[in-house]
Amino acid sequence: MEQRLTHEEVTELSEALRCIRCGFCNSVCPTSLIPEAYKPSRTARGRMVLIQSALSGLNLDLFDGDVAELMDLCYGCNRCLAVCPAGIPIPDLIRSYRHALLKREGERERVIGFYTETLPQLFGLPGPLRRLLLSIAPKRLIAMYLGLATDVELPVPEGVEVREVMRRTGVLGGDDAELAYFADTYYRYVRPSSLEPLLHALRELGHKLSFPRQWDSGVLLWEYGDRDGLKALAERNVASLVREVERGRRVLTTSPAATLMLREVYPRILRTPEATSVSRAVVDVCELMLELSESVPERLAVRENAVTLHSSCFSQHLGLTPKLIGALEGLGVKVVAVRGECCGVGGLWGLLKRNRKTSLRVAERLISHLEGPVVTYSETCHLQLEGLCGPRVRLPFQLIAPRERRR
């Protein structure tokens, strides 16, 4: 049965009517650049045309299963924002569409609940019980339940929370902390050990970090249209982080998704002075590494002399890639090439079974250009590229180490 758009939904999607169908978005959209996109409906412009058709009174049900599948080819990379001559916020329109779809279906992706709700509950258990459950958990069955592809390894938590790693490395501070660390779910629960090189370096440089009360950034809720869930998380995170800002601390992030949420998305959805204060206090780890490379390069060592840099979608959108290049080169790492093609992961989008084939097709445009050691700044890009290229792929802060002092 055809499902009509409500008046509110029509208003939200009406920006699509300004689309002049130039196709500039197609030239940068990762899923529009693969062979399967020979069908116009499978392109970024095609998605705008579908919305235009529904708004113009044509007999098109935007919530039909086949149409929903076409709309889902957008995974919010934000690349189109830089090229659209009409200034249409295409990813925001897709998120509005997903919000409308979620209201009708009433069921979101299982993997979202796993990372935003189940993991925090798991880490609320006593350590021994938590580690036991993680050790006996049927990982493949869980991956199937979550809808992950069979060639994807479920990112299983290491069993310790990042606060424990911070304490062990000696960087966890109290009143003397100058940075407040916002970890987000991946580094808090899943791979906190990835941060050890950065934490050791900060400790040796005399920096201390606080670890305020915090929750998931909500990036998955944002991408998949769960506005109520996102707003609730944003309000709680801002209420906690603004207290750190009032103490004169900057908010350190180690994920471009977390930086995007705190710096751009929270102020837009909350529209409060507190959200603006937190936004202005955010320092991304690429920016922090650049500061360190300019102030104390002699006190840091690097683990690679030359790397190929993969510039992730959100890194490009946030303008972090030039800062990361400056940081690496300032520390003595030669960046032999910068590749801006998308790896196809799109957060968790490309890890889902229904999207995996398209994800790998997108990745094909990038993989052949990645030679030698590779650096990528995105936890999910790292998962994707490590799975496709092996252990030579690293996160930028895994390259640094404190230089041994001469006695």
- Give the confidence band of 407 by pLDDT, cuts at 50, 70, 90: very low
Based on the fold, state whether residues 258 and 397 are members of the same structural domain: no
CA distance 92 to 94: 5
- Give the confidence band of 406 by pLDDT, cuts at 50, 70, 90: very low
In a domain, 383, yes or no: yes
Is the confidence at residue 221, as pLDDT, over 70?
Answer: yes
| Token pair belonging to 33 | 């650049």
Q: What does the pLDDT look like over 142-187, one tens digit per residue?
A: 888 889 998 887 777 888 999 999 999 999 999 999 999 999 999 9
| Token pair belonging to 64 | 């039909």
Q: What per-residue confidence (pLDDT) applies to 138?
A: 81
Based on the fold, state whether residues 273 and 387 are members of the same structural domain: no
Based on the fold, state whether residues 197 and 215 are members of the same structural domain: yes
Based on the fold, state whether residues 176 and 263 are members of the same structural domain: yes
In a domain, 16, yes or no: yes
Residue that is last in its domain, among 287, 315, 330? 287
Q: Which domain holds residue 127?
A: 111-287
| Token pair belonging to 6 | 């409500």
- Report CA 130 to chain centroid distance, whole Å: 26
Based on the fold, state whether residues 354 and 248 are members of the same structural domain: no
Based on the fold, state whether residues 140 and 235 are members of the same structural domain: yes
* pTM for this model (two decimals): 0.94
Residue pair 44/8 in contact by the 8 Å Cβ criterion: no
Q: What per-residue confidence (pLDDT) applies to 158?
A: 86
In a domain, 1, yes or no: no
- Give the confidence band of 136 by pLDDT, cuts at 50, 70, 90: confident
Based on the fold, state whether residues 283 and 147 are members of the same structural domain: yes
In a domain, 192, yes or no: yes
- Give the confidence band of 58 by pLDDT, cuts at 50, 70, 90: confident
Based on the fold, state whether residues 268 and 212 are members of the same structural domain: yes
Based on the fold, state whether residues 129 and 238 are members of the same structural domain: yes
173-189 burial: b if 16+ Cβ within 10 Å, else e: beeebbbbbbbbbbbbb
- % of the chain exceeding 90 in pLDDT: 81
CA distance 170 to 165: 9
Cβ neighbours of residue 174 closer than 8 Å, sequence gap 6 or more: 208, 210
In a domain, 292, yes or no: no
Single out the residue of 288, 306, 314 nearest to residue 394, CA to CA: 306
- Phi then psi for residue 215, to 5 deg, are -130, 175
Number of separate domains in the chain: 3
Q: What per-residue confidence (pLDDT) applies to 109?
A: 84
Residue that is last in its domain, among 267, 287, 307? 287
Alpha-helical (H) ranges within 186-308 are: 196-204, 219-223, 227-246, 256-260, 266-270, 273-281, 285-295
Indicate the range of 2-11, 167-176, 244-253, 288-297 predicted with least confidence. 2-11
The average confidence (pLDDT) of the chain is 93
Is the confidence at residue 133, as pLDDT, over 90?
Answer: no
Based on the fold, state whether residues 170 and 259 are members of the same structural domain: yes
In a domain, 407, yes or no: no
CATH number of the domain at 81, please: 1.10.1060.10
- Identify the sign of the CA torsion 381, 385, 391, 393: negative
Based on the fold, state whether residues 213 and 147 are members of the same structural domain: yes
Based on the fold, state whether residues 275 and 302 are members of the same structural domain: no
In a domain, 2, yes or no: no
Q: What per-residue confidence (pLDDT) applies to 130?
A: 86
Q: What does the pLDDT look like over 227-256, one tens digit per residue?
A: 999 999 999 999 999 999 999 999 999 999
Q: What per-residue confidence (pLDDT) applies to 155?
A: 79
Residue that is last in its domain, among 66, 84, 105? 105
- Phi then psi for residue 173, to 5 deg, are -115, 180
